[in-house]
Amino acid sequence: MNWFIYRDDIFTPVNIKATTIEEAVKAGLPIARDVLGSVDSYCLYEGGGEIVIEYWRGNELSVKFIYADDPARALMRFYNAERAGLVRCFSVS
């Protein structure tokens, strides 16, 4: 599986080296800050071996990092999980 960044409806491969979710969150944070300017929080979905980390600036701007073979399918699963209340969100300190 590979990591992708999802922004403006485009999936772009990105090189993230992580063996745990915590490492992935930390590795993606500087990239998300470069894209968004700052990051206030992130939301996390993990299921079926796929991971989606959504970084937020305020309530309007976000960027997603997706670990999956098929990032479009993982994104749809993320949205379904979000509607079902299965996505966990955390503040960035």
Q: Is the model's pLDDT at 81 over the cut of 80? A: yes
64 pLDDT band, cuts 50/70/90, is: very high
Ranges of each domain in the chain: 2-91
34 CB neighbour count, 10 Å cutoff: 9
60, pLDDT greater than 90: no
The type of residue at 37 is: G
For all residues of the chain together, what is the average pLDDT? 95
Q: Output the pTM of the full model.
A: 0.94
